[in-house]
Chain A
């Protein structure tokens, strides 16, 4: 079996007396898109910073491609940090070319790529504009460009859609998908669960400094939500040992089958008990629902 590109084992991170990560282990395989999920303050950004050597881990193994990450490996990495920023007093093109050069591109290639990218994200006329004259969303686009311009083998995106409107979010997702198609391994921290469902092969839910759930999206959905039955009906909805009623309003209901219960048994039970079933559909529980269920009322304001 091929070695994982990212390997984290028994990672622990303390800040003084505060334990941010208790014991975390996971792998990210080459070519997969990995969703790293958790509530605010759960330690996602801290884990990424430790993986990239920005923080020194208190304990544990954090490897990229079999070794501790060094800045000299930066030409293979694309990292969009949570704290966004660019050299604000310089022109857009100068900043992009600078980072392109630092990632090993020739000046000519960096210029050519930057101009093509600016054209794609509708900022072609801003090439010579100072960065601080751009809007926040425009700066985000420039930063994403800087992140992917070296065609990275590993792309780490910490809340990439933060601050984007829906149109630009779609554009950003397209760019990320381009990178996936080009063979990049992607680690993505996001609170946009539909993006995770759309893009990610596997996910990890981080809670209380450990992995609360870890596996394919389907595994996690099965473990936490399983199947949800979406039912449109008329007449009262009776309680039953076969299911739990999670939502019931205006002749619409969402039912969770109890362990070992088949959906057809539930449909039969409903019909037998006189419920007029207008539609009956099964679906996996959405990640968003699972997220809410797992993190409940955890409302820490800032990311650690």
Chain B
């Protein structure tokens, strides 16, 4: 072997950037190369694909069955107390008016006719009675469909106007325009874009939180801490890990979103998806900026805290206890979500808005619904970034002095109690 290649001695700043890139690249690729990552990532789109397929198949089947049942021709007798069903209409569906109720019922029992419908005087308050030959659970639905369709057609004939009929069925399109500070507000279309930051926050924390927790534990469990601490600034390592996990989270989200986009673009009608016109989404700059800052601040705080927990715990198992509690805190605001939307000034909402670990979710919800004032936004964003930086610095400190305690839990007070020598 030749003499080792003498590395380029880079300057401190260049070396720091070089190392950050190296850590991000190493951590990102080792995360996305793991089978476990792809199993977790693909499980959700696979489940969505299965659900979508079932919906399509089910919708097509239901639709054709309903259509067939609606148009099915039966031989039936009927009596009508409402006066709505004319003989002509009934004949169209294969019906004949019965004069003797007992006889009609006997004919059904004998299988001479398929069914006997008794339309009451007031079908809106009284049930239509159907007596039919049993054709199995699914086929028996035909009686119900035909009886219902006869009444609907009878009512439409009575109204005598397709427009009026449509109106009675509530088939109307309403285009609302609302104003905020004298400007047209976006309504629901303005809520969706900032709400996406909340989705990103949830997905990244819920799916990657455990990896954040164990990311520095790995150095400890693999006994590489000393080699790392003498090669790399711990801040660079931790920041690199956090960035790489965020990138992995974004990749996961892309994978999740892809089937939804495909379903929306190509199979919207088959899936009965709401007719949401994305072109009408309103992108208001202020909520988007606030949403992005809340996301970054919240992500920094949570990752810093998770890494700090990982740094003081000797094993992933012991660290997991704290992970559960932290995760619970990001779901808590959803217990009062209706209050967050309807009464954002309620005491409990205010507490959740400013308590650090519930603040990101609560503030992002309020920001999306337009109830987070600029002052509140500034306070929460400032709080999250400040505490996030504190948590990160704490995480770095604890990693530096905690990870060398390979198999022991670090005492935080001891770690701060170590007096620096006059070196």
Contacts and interface: CB of A to CB of B under 8 A. Distances in A.
B222 interface: yes
A101 B419 CA distance: 33
Interface stretch (B9-17, B348-356, B386-394): B9-17
B227 A56 contact: no
Interface in B1-35: 1-10, 12, 15-16, 18-19, 22-23, 26, 30, 34
B421 A57 contact: yes
B31 to A, nearest CB: 11
B265 to A, nearest CB: 39
Contacts of B9: 75-76, 104
Given A71-B231, A151-B4, A87 B15 contact: no
Contacts of B3: 151, 178, 182
Interface in B205-260: 218, 222-227, 229-234
A98 to B, nearest CB: 5
B420 interface: yes
Nearest to B404: A54
A236 B7 CA distance: 65
A12 B421 CA distance: 9
Most buried by A among B12, B30, B421: B421
Nearest to B422: A59
B135 interface: no
A72 B16 contact: yes
A277 B19 CA distance: 68
Contacts of B1: 116-117, 119-120, 178
Interface stretch (A29-37, A77-85, A226-234): A77-85
Contacts of A60: 421-423
Given A105-B7, A150-B4, A151-B5, A56 B26 contact: no
B418 interface: yes
Q: Is the interface of A mostly helix, strand, loop or mixed?
A: mixed
Interface in A45-75: 49-50, 52-63, 68-72, 74-75
A20 interface: no
A49 B7 CA distance: 24
A104 B10 contact: yes
Interface residues of B, number: 42
A101 B420 CA distance: 31
B222 A72 contact: no
A149 interface: yes
B26 A85 contact: no
B302 interface: no
A59 B422 CA distance: 6
B15 A72 contact: yes
Interface in B42-100: none
Contacts of A57: 420-421, 423
A304 interface: no
Contacts of A62: 421, 423
Contacts of A88: 222
Nearest to A76: B9
B230 to A, nearest CB: 5
B406 interface: yes
A83 to B, nearest CB: 5
A146 to B, nearest CB: 7
B421 A79 contact: no
A104 B26 CA distance: 15
Contact of A103 (B2, B218, B222, B231): B231
A85 B228 CA distance: 11
Given A72-B16, A75-B9, A151-B7, A49 B232 contact: no
Contact of A83 (B16, B223, B234, B418): B223
B5 A94 contact: no
Given A57-B421, A101-B22, A109 B5 contact: yes
Interface in B154-192: none
Contacts of A150: 4, 6-7
Contacts of B23: 102
A70 B19 CA distance: 14
A151 B6 contact: yes
Contacts of B406: 83
A112 B1 CA distance: 11
B5 A105 contact: yes
Interface in B368-423: 401, 404, 406, 418-423
Given A49-B404, A85-B222, A104-B18, A71 B229 contact: yes
A130 B395 CA distance: 29
A63 B401 CA distance: 20
Given A74-B232, A150-B4, A178-B3, A98 B223 contact: no
A189 B99 CA distance: 112
Contacts of A90: 30
A56 B420 contact: yes
B423 A68 contact: yes
14 contacts: A52-B230, A58-B419, A59-B422, A63-B423, A71-B234, A81-B226, A85-B223, A87-B222, A104-B7, A148-B4, A150-B4, A150-B7, A151-B7, A182-B4
Interface of A: 11-12, 49-50, 52-63, 68-72, 74-77, 79, 81, 83-90, 94, 98-99, 101-106, 109, 112-113, 116-117, 119-120, 146, 148-151, 178-179, 182
Given A72-B16, A77-B231, 7 more contacts: A12-B421, A71-B234, A87-B30, A102-B23, A117-B1, A151-B6, A182-B4
